[in-house]
Amino acid sequence: MTQSENDAVFPVLPVDRLPQAEVKERWLIESLWGKNAVGVLCGHPKAGKSWAGLDMAVSVASGTRCLGKFPVHEPGRALIYLAEDSLPALRERVAAIAAHRGLRLAELDLQVITAQRMRLDLLEDRERLAETARRLKPRLLLLDPLVRMHCLDENDSRAISGLLSFFRDLQRLLDMAVVIVHV
């Protein structure tokens, strides 16, 4: 084929000639959450989603088993934002999880975004979140609940797809897992 003919088609390779990936740990929390997963933790109201998300964050920050069962092989910093809880209530929740594991709060590499609001449908707030995460380099970002962080129509897939693309882009840029709590 000539160069102009090559430019008219996408490059292809037989599957056996594709590069092989290095074997890497694929789990952040074994059998529960992928190392680079972007996902949604959802369920009925008052089903314990926030507690489960906080348990994940404490597990990553401390290297202790999530929900008492699932090991964390590469502990590291966790960054969280809980839009519905006051800061004292959040501290109390995390303290309860830590105490159950025999940990002190000061031992946790758990950072809390303390802003009164975060609107991820606004470019300015997306940029602030991205820069915060870039500086802190968390292994896990927990955002709870999604519905309090935007004013988009959740029934409009085009509106929500931009927000979900932002989370995926952030995950890829910073090589971290993202947990989004949603009702």
Could you read off the pLDDT of 103-144 as tens digits, one per residue?
A: 999 999 999 999 999 999 999 999 999 999 999 999 999 999
Which residue intervals of 30-149 are DSSP H helices? Answer: 49-62, 87-100, 123-136
**Tell me, what DSSP letter sits at residue 36?**
T
Give me the amino acid identity at 120. Answer: L
pLDDT at position 113: 96
3-state class of 130 per DSSP?
helix
Fold classified for 36-182: Rossmann fold (3.40.50)
User: What's the confidence (pLDDT) of residue 183?
Assistant: 81
From CA 151, how far away is CA 91, in angstroms rounded? 27
Over the stretch 17-75, which tens digit does the pLDDT of each residue have?
998 877 677 899 999 999 999 999 999 989 999 999 999 999 999 999 999 999 998 99
pLDDT for 159 equals 86
- Give the pLDDT of residue 23: 64
For the cut 60, the answer to whether the pLDDT of residue 160 exceeds it is yes
Decide if 60 contacts 76 (C-beta within 8 A): yes
The average pLDDT across 81-98 equals 95
Under DSSP, is residue 21 helix (H, G, I), strand (E, B) or coil? coil
**How far is Cα 80 from Cα 73, in angstroms, rounded to an integer?**
20
| Residue 20: predicted pLDDT | 85
* pLDDT at residue 6 in the model: 65
| pTM (predicted TM-score) | 0.86
Q: Which two tokens stand for residue 113?
A: 């975004």
pLDDT for 29: 96
Element (H, E) at 178: strand 177-182
Q: Which pLDDT belongs to residue 2?
A: 62
Closest CA to 108 of 117, 118, 100: 100
Residue 82 near residue 97 (C-beta atoms within 8 A): no
DSSP code of residue 142: E
**Res 70: pLDDT:** 98
HSE at residue 162, side-chain half, CA atoms within 13 A, is: 13
According to DSSP, residue 135 is labeled H
pLDDT in the model for residue 60? 98
